Amino acid sequence: MLSWIYPLRIVQAILSLATIGLTAYEIASLYDEWSYSNVIYYMLFNGCWTTAIAVPYLGLAPVAYPRFSHEVAIPLIELLTGGLWLSGWIALAAMIPSPSACHYSSCHALQALIVVGAIQWATFAVTNTFAIMDVKNSRRNSKNHRNDAAPEMTTSGANTNGNTTTTTTADTAV
């Protein structure tokens, strides 16, 4: 496993906690005023999903379930979580007012939430790239290990004891 993955997972957890805090502030300050078409709640879900499920699983699965997690689960969780963050921050960016019309604190918090969401998506894009490369490398390596044995390791016959005898090029040269 790459040495920088665990610190990046910690950064992802911190960013998702920041998302939870910013969305909680938005929900509290804009509860009766203006609706964001549930995008705020979607970003709250993204923060909770990442903090409670994705980052713990992505951090612990390679240790607990190394074969299954690298082949199937980690790339799927990475793709899902990256897609959630991408769709969340883009939907939020499309719904807030322009920066010139943003003069109140909850609007600035929304801008910060967009930046945090975009950075979070970028971190998952990086880890997703390495997860997919790991799957390709592990499949390539598993194909190499399934090849037949080398010709000098094949049996040419069995003696009377049931033991196999092989002749290699080194044996015939002597």
Angle, nearest 10°, between helix axes 55-64 and 74-95? Answer: 170
Residue 36 falls within a domain, yes or no? yes
Better-predicted residue by pLDDT, 146 or 8: 8
pLDDT tens by residue, 146-171:
555 555 555 555 555 555 555 555 55
Contact 59, 6 (CB under 8 A): yes
Residue 172 falls within a domain, yes or no? no
Looking at residue 68, its pLDDT comes to 72
Average pLDDT on 84-97 reads 94
Looking at residue 144, its pLDDT comes to 55
CB neighbours of 126 closer than 8 A, spacing ≥ 6?
Answer: 8
Better-predicted residue by pLDDT, 44 or 67: 44
Residue 49 falls within a domain, yes or no? yes
Question: Does pLDDT of 119 surpass 90?
Answer: yes
Residue 29 falls within a domain, yes or no? yes
Q: For the chain, how many structural domains are there in total?
A: 1
Average pLDDT on 129-151 reads 69
Residue 152 falls within a domain, yes or no? no
Q: In whole angstroms, what is the distance from residue 59 CA to residue 105 CA?
A: 35
Residue 156 falls within a domain, yes or no? no
Residue 45 falls within a domain, yes or no? yes
Residue 118 falls within a domain, yes or no? yes
Better-predicted residue by pLDDT, 140 or 149: 140
pLDDT confidence band for 11 (50 / 70 / 90)? very high
Tell me the backbone φ, ψ of residue 30, rounded to 5 degrees. -115, 25
pLDDT confidence band for 117 (50 / 70 / 90)? very high
Per the structure, the complete domain to which residue 44 belongs is given by 4-96+105-147
Looking at residue 134, its pLDDT comes to 82
